[in-house]
Structure 1
Amino acid sequence: MFNFILRRTAASIPVMAMVAAVVFAILRLTPGDPAAIIAGDSATPQQLEEIRRMMGLDEPMYVQFLIWIWRLLQGDLGTSLLSGVPVAEMIGQRMGPSLALCLSTITLSVLVAIPLGILAAWRQGKPLDRLVMAASVLGFSVPVFVTAYVMILVFSLKLGWFPVQGYKPLAAGLWPFAQALVLPTIALSTVYIALIARITRTSIIEVMGEDFIRTARAKGLRERSVLTGHALRNAAVPIVTIIGVGVAMLISGVVVTESVFNLPGLGRLVVEAVLARDYPVIQALILLFAFVYVFINLIVDALYTVFDPRIRY
């Protein structure tokens, strides 16, 4: 296992390098000039040239890339072109809301979706199964921002149960912290609940036809024990896989959700940096998201051996 982790870590280095090169090239080749955004509409050509020189944008693209990579290897993510604040400091300030939203979304999705998938598989072809699958199709089809606005209309504006927008840190109290995350978490988790529930149902239905399930039933085990102790454990590999794959969707969903609910997280920072063409911030955030995705997939691969002893690396 240790050798496998080392190999996967080494293999992720070229992936991260490719992501860095592609992101750097795309940002530099897209239309727009960050110097013009900073200087404003009334800036003279001389002022624009001076700003480009100060920002290093007058250098050839390969020189800018090499300078950025060298600083990155030294742990320097750069400085925001607009605010002048170090990018690492900006990410640290915005990490809390995004981390809280992601953890609450994953937790809620797993706790709700897996029991729904088990129930749907147990009652295959029955009304309960059709209801769960219909709800899954609906949850997977409706965009996150539509769900978010509907929930704001009903639970915030009509009923007044939750705030429309904003974020409260945990230091402000447990209830204000949870109250600000309820609607964003539910809105973001609908897609993942639908996805995980469908995969759980399909995986358990496939396992239910195996010989060891018939043997467990012949031994007189209760149906709940058969479903949770035997079927679910042997169907866990595809379920864990889809949870890991959902991280990529979660990253894109966080951007939309934080914008709708005005959460000061990394997703909102991405939108602000893209609109302002703040190159160092965009590059650092995309590299961070890519690293998280690679790391989650490494954890998922390692968990395969826990759920299926037949898998060995």
Structure 2
Amino acid sequence: QERVELGFSQQQRAQEAERLLILEKVRQAEDNISSRIGSLLMDNNRQKKSTEFLQAMEEDRIRMEQLTTITQEEANSLRKREVAAAMQKLLSDGYAMSLLQEASDCRRQSLVSEACRSMETLDRKCERMLSLQVLDKSKAIAQILQEEEMQKAAFQALQLQKDAVHGYIRNQEVLVEQRTALSDLLQQLLKQKDQREQELRQILVEIERNSESNQQNYWMIQYQRLLDAKPLSLRMQEAGVEMELVHLLCRLSAQHYLPVLAHHHITTEALCHMTSSDLKQVGITETGIQKALLSWARERQPA
């Protein structure tokens, strides 16, 4: 449509230029006629020619007017022809443009269909590639996990080996420390042995010096041991404690109170006049022993 309008405007410009050219020619002709008429009038005024000359001039003017009218009609007919030709050309151009538009639409549809097909094929290929990548990724992940497990096992084995080496080194260090400690202890024992040998020698010397006095005291010690080896009942009897009280305290497992009774010269008769507080003051603090002694004394008391 733009081409049609452009062609139509060009045709109009060309026709306008031709019309202006024709009008310019007409103006020139009119100017010539007017100049001739003026010259003729001047000649008529000057020479006062006859009317025939004027009629001839009038006929020339009429002829010129007829010529101008003929040229105007020809210009109009020419313009109509040009407009008709331009319209026909525009119609033909429009029909050609419609044909080109239809062809371009068909071409566009074919290109779109081809593009859709190519996109579908590309999508299928991409899906296949993605599925293959997912499979490869899963395989790679499984392989990486397996390698990590193997690395962990190797690291644990290496760690155990290192721990064993460290344990062996520590044991060796402990053994070295123990050996050093034992050597130090042995040296100390040897020193103590020497010191003890010296002390024993000194003691032997002192024993040899004091052997005579020890022989004299030996018989005194043996006599004291014999005295200490006497039975408790015999010693209590010698101390003045009644045998019945001795047997009672032995039955009550209270032999440790016999020296108390012997020290305070407590007899059965004295127990009959004593109370729990009296026994506590004497040194017999156990309540059960106190009650047993008092009840036993009351039973032995004559009626």
TM-score, shorter chain, exceeding 0.5: no
What band does the TM-score fall into relative to the shorter chain?
Answer: under 0.3
Larger radius of gyration between Structure 1 and Structure 2: 2
State TM-score, norm by structure 1: 0.20
Which one scores higher on RCO, CA 8 angstroms, separation ≥ 6? 1
